[in-house]
Amino acid sequence: LKSNPSNNEEKEAQTQLTKSDELQRLHSQALSAYQQEDYEAAISLLDEILAVCVWDAELRELRAECYIKEGEPSKAISDLKAAAKLKNDNTEAFYKISRIYYQLGDHELSLSEVRECLKLDQDHKQCFSLYKQVKKLNKQIESAEELIREGRYEDAISKYESVMKTEPEVAIYSTRAKERICHCLSKNQQATEAIKLCTEVLQLEPTNVNALKDRAEAYLLEDMYEE
């Protein structure tokens, strides 16, 4: 303004100054809500700030944390991906994205994101540890699927049993493994075992189409047409 005083610019400057004060106040409130674990309120406040401060990586990371706590992982991924682009060498964002994908059962995307982290820092301890885990699991699942394509059902069952041992903590991998083992048992004419395992999967996921189809095949083998 001192270099080029004019009424319009003075008004604009005053407006922006007022807005920046308001945003700082909202920022303090958002941090306070986050610390008090009121994540819904924090998200709402961060939405307002990010509508103006679109390029702020740290605010996006904070909102991502709130989304994770609120059980909205896909929204968290969106914010973390933006943060990874906005901040140079943001290994932390890639690590978090990879972890979320892993927890959601998307091991392939998890592997691709953790590789991005290691490209930036090959000695990143957390990323390297996650990379080893995801790579091992990914390889086992790919190998099991290859065995299924070749009709080697016994070997595929054994491989999917290894998957369950590799990742006993994240339930989705055990459920997927059981679903595929049921498929193999059904194809292998082991109807009783297939029915038992598919039923287990369907208790967890009543609308699992693959498990319904494979159990139906197994019922046919047992002449249980009504079922």
- For residue 8, the model assigns a pLDDT of 79
Q: Are 37 and 29 in contact (CB under 8 A)?
A: no
Average pLDDT of span 6-11? 80
Average pLDDT of span 3-31? 87
| Residue found by looking up tokens 């047992």 in the block | 222
Has residue 14 got a pLDDT over 90? no
- For residue 10, the model assigns a pLDDT of 82
Other C-beta atoms lying within 10 Å of the C-beta of residue 208: 18
- For residue 16, the model assigns a pLDDT of 86
Tell me the pLDDT band of 12, cut-offs 50, 70 and 90: confident
Q: Would you identify the CATH topology of the domain 151-226?
A: 1.25.40
| pLDDT tens figures, 34-68 | 999 999 999 999 999 999 999 999 999 999 999 99
Alpha-helical segments (H) within the chain: 7-35, 39-52, 57-69, 73-86, 91-103, 107-120, 125-149, 153-166, 171-187, 191-204, 209-221
Average pLDDT of span 73-79? 96
Has residue 1 got a pLDDT over 80? no
Q: Are 148 and 180 in contact (CB under 8 A)?
A: yes
Tell me the pLDDT band of 9, cut-offs 50, 70 and 90: confident
Tell me the pLDDT band of 185, cut-offs 50, 70 and 90: very high
Angstrom distance (rounded) from CA 70 to CA 99: 16
Cβ neighbors of 1 (< 8 A, separation 6 or more) are: 9, 10, 13
85 or 5, higher pLDDT? 85
Has residue 227 got a pLDDT over 90? yes
Cβ neighbors of 81 (< 8 A, separation 6 or more) are: 93, 97
Taking alpha carbons only, the member of 103, 117, 53, 45 closest to residue 74 is 103
Mean pLDDT of the chain: 95
Q: Are 75 and 87 in contact (CB under 8 A)?
A: no
Tell me the pLDDT band of 124, cut-offs 50, 70 and 90: very high
Is 211 buried (19+), middle (13-18) or exposed (0-12) by CB count in 10 A? buried
| Residue found by looking up tokens 């406040």 in the block | 45
| pLDDT tens figures, 131-157 | 999 999 999 999 999 999 999 999 999
Average pLDDT of span 92-99? 97
Residue 5 DSSP SS3: coil
- For residue 66, the model assigns a pLDDT of 98
Q: Are 33 and 45 in contact (CB under 8 A)?
A: yes
Has residue 15 got a pLDDT over 90? no
- For residue 4, the model assigns a pLDDT of 74
